[in-house]
A = this chain, B = another copy of it.
């Protein structure tokens, strides 16, 4: 046992209810994993251990952001009244081009990583750009910060400005470079623990389990079907299979895009199937952003293949995409996490995403009364345990989970005998980074 923390502990094992332990204890081992959580010290066998006492503060799992574009951070909260196309052409693409120069990238990337931490997000699925060098820099910045990230060098070779297109050959070379380098960061320990025989960079057989020991890892990232030729999609699928790497992309964000994909990939039964045919849809762990219009065949395929949804409610509002049927996804048993989707989304806080996710579900409820809206515990579960599941055992305080946690000092919001659950709800709705007084990722305190 390494550390024991005492505080008011709240988390979600199941989506339908909170675990609430007033003045409880959580024990964490030297590898940063939770040993146990209990209302008294004796139950943890920790009578002799040193206890870090957070008093009346709240201790909750840290946030997980399942979809965010790091190179769009400079554009956060900008050009929000442009339509999608002029927005891409005048803001998004010109900004991404600048990341060809890593010395340009450093300042916004550093700020991005710091602000994620500041707002309580300890793990993120991140789109970088097509540029290998600045993607490497972003991975280094996450490592330096001690935070968890799946970082994707973006693959695209058509239907975007030429300066952002990279042919399949160099794209694969760049991705493979970053993959092999990342393998070197896996601790020797991890290869011992792994079921796989060997994790030397030379081995082409990787175990997803072993990858988990790397806090910062590559993720295969075709931007989306319209910007990737069939050859690029095939190459991405092959890399994912070869290195057992996860996959992220965009899916069914808006109706025009869906029609376009149907033209580009006429043999596919649905947009999702266009990824599926190339081994990019659940063959390895896969998260798809948006899914605003996912239904029927596509929903069934996601379910069958265990593809996860990154729900990005503010982005879907800002870009006028629509309102994703998240409650339906949960009812169907899909795993759903939350994404800020900077800079389609304007807010980097996953706490704000919980509020928006509930609001979106309320508009579906208002419109058809078919399904109840999301409860607070469901939104919290998506932000923590369910979202965290894409990174490993992350997002809960159950034994074996990595200790990713936030300590919330809500004294300024808690002025009037609120219950612990009310305090948490008020923090989610009203709080911001000012109340986050400690941050932990895999057991280590993260300083800003």
Contacts and interface: CB of A to CB of B under 8 A. Distances in A.
Interface string A289-317: 00000000000000000000000001001
Contact of A416 (B74, B79, B80, B365): B74
A320 B78 contact: no
Interface stretch (A130-138, A207-215, A382-390, A421-429): A421-429
Contacts of A77: 425-426, 428-430
Nearest to A346: B429
A76 B416 CA distance: 12
Contacts of A355: 346
Interface stretch (A25-33, A183-191, A241-249, A356-364): A356-364
Given A346-B355, A363-B323, A429-B346, A376 B317 contact: no
Contacts of A415: 107, 111
Contact of A322 (B346, B363, B428): B363
B430 A347 contact: yes
B426 A81 contact: no
A159 interface: no
Count this chain's copies in the assembly. 2
B322 A81 contact: no
A358 to B, nearest CB: 7
Interface string A321-346: 11100000000000000000000001
A318 interface: yes
Contacts of A111: 415
Contacts of A429: 76-78, 80, 346-347
A359 B317 contact: yes
Interface in A377-429: 415-416, 418, 422, 425-426, 428-429
A366 interface: yes
A346 B430 contact: yes
A375 interface: yes
A373 interface: yes
Interface in A21-39: none
A432 interface: yes
B416 A320 contact: no
A346 B359 CA distance: 11
B425 A320 contact: no
Contact of A317 (B108, B314, B318, B363): B363
Given A429-B76, A430-B347, A81 B320 contact: no
A79 B423 CA distance: 11
A321 to B, nearest CB: 7
A372 to B, nearest CB: 9
Contacts of A358: 80-81
Interface of A: 74, 76-81, 107-108, 111, 314, 317-318, 320-323, 346-347, 355, 358-359, 362-363, 365-367, 373-376, 415-416, 418, 422, 425-426, 428-430, 432
14 contacts: A74-B416, A77-B426, A78-B425, A81-B375, A107-B415, A108-B416, A317-B363, A318-B359, A318-B362, A320-B366, A321-B366, A322-B367, A323-B363, A346-B355
Q: Pick the 6 closest A-B CB pairs, nearest first.
A: A77-B429, A317-B359, A320-B362, A77-B426, A346-B429, A77-B430
